[in-house]
Amino acid sequence: MPGLRKLKKKQKFKYDRNRKRVQKTQELTKNSNVRLADGVIKAHWDARKPLKQNLSAMGLAYDANQVMSWPSTKRQMVERAQGRLTHFNPAIHESHPPAETEAEAELEASTPSDQDDTPVVRALKAQVAQVPVRQSFRFTSEEVRWITQMMDKHGDDFKAMARDPKNIWQCTPKQIRQKVVKFIHIPEQFAPFAKARGLLEDSQAILTETE
């Protein structure tokens, strides 16, 4: 016996229903279904307000891209990394005082001061300050030795590095370039190399010439 065919009920428009009241009820229901994991935000949350109004009242941003400007080019990112490097090494800092870049100036101008913080923002900052800082990525001593040897021997010729017999990991030119760029952005490991060879100014050329 064949199965029964399911019939879809025809939707009828109800003219006697107050659409404004229905829409308001749906918005309140939608806002009440928001799951708040953070206790600080949950304590200051107003279920009668939509998401953007709640965040604005707490001093939080709905879209971080609209309130803060970030470096949009690799050159600006290298300038910021180079500034961190000179700040890390006192000897380099004395001979090459870091200058404020345009990206840093824009970021500083768009960042609100601590005096403008709301109680919610201050409570969230206190929570973040208590979280232990994770150790960032670092190359092993063997990888640092290999990268520095390749840079000393081939400069910024990543194709030659890929053909070098010491490329035991069989890295492609693109992979080697990524390793060199990452190595330059680690001040603790790149600072001794830059100080010994005077390559502080050349670190930006390695990025710009290979794009």
DSSP per-residue codes, 83-133: HHHHHH-HHHHHHSPPPPPHHHHHHHHHSPPGGG--HHHHHHHHHHHHSPP
pLDDT mean over 6-20: 77
Query: Is residue 139 classed as helix, strand or coil in its secondary structure?
Result: coil
CA distance 77 to 181: 11
Confidence of residue 161 (pLDDT cuts 50, 70, 90): very high
Mean pLDDT of the chain, nearest integer: 75
pLDDT digits (tens, 9 = 90+) for 88-99: 444 444 444 444
* Better pLDDT: 106 or 126: 126
Q: Does position 26 have pLDDT exceeding 80, yes or no?
A: no
Q: Does position 57 have pLDDT exceeding 80, yes or no?
A: yes
Shared domain for 52 and 115, answered yes or no, is yes
Shared domain for 45 and 106, answered yes or no, is yes
Its pTM stands at: 0.38
Shared domain for 145 and 73, answered yes or no, is no
Q: Does position 113 have pLDDT exceeding 70, yes or no?
A: no
Last residue of a domain, one of 103, 130, 157: 130
| Tokens matching residue 67 | 């309130």
Shared domain for 41 and 126, answered yes or no, is yes
CA distance 71 to 103: 6
pLDDT mean over 114-134: 80
Shared domain for 56 and 124, answered yes or no, is yes
Q: Identify the CA nearest to 96 among candidates 109, 115, 79, 119.
A: 79
Highest mean pLDDT among 2-16, 24-38, 59-73, 116-130: 116-130
Q: Does position 35 have pLDDT exceeding 80, yes or no?
A: no
17 inside domain: no
Give the chain's domain count.
Answer: 2
Q: Does position 123 have pLDDT exceeding 70, yes or no?
A: yes
Last residue of a domain, one of 109, 130, 151: 130
Q: Does position 199 have pLDDT exceeding 60, yes or no?
A: yes
Q: What per-residue confidence (pLDDT) applies to 63?
A: 86
Confidence of residue 182 (pLDDT cuts 50, 70, 90): very high
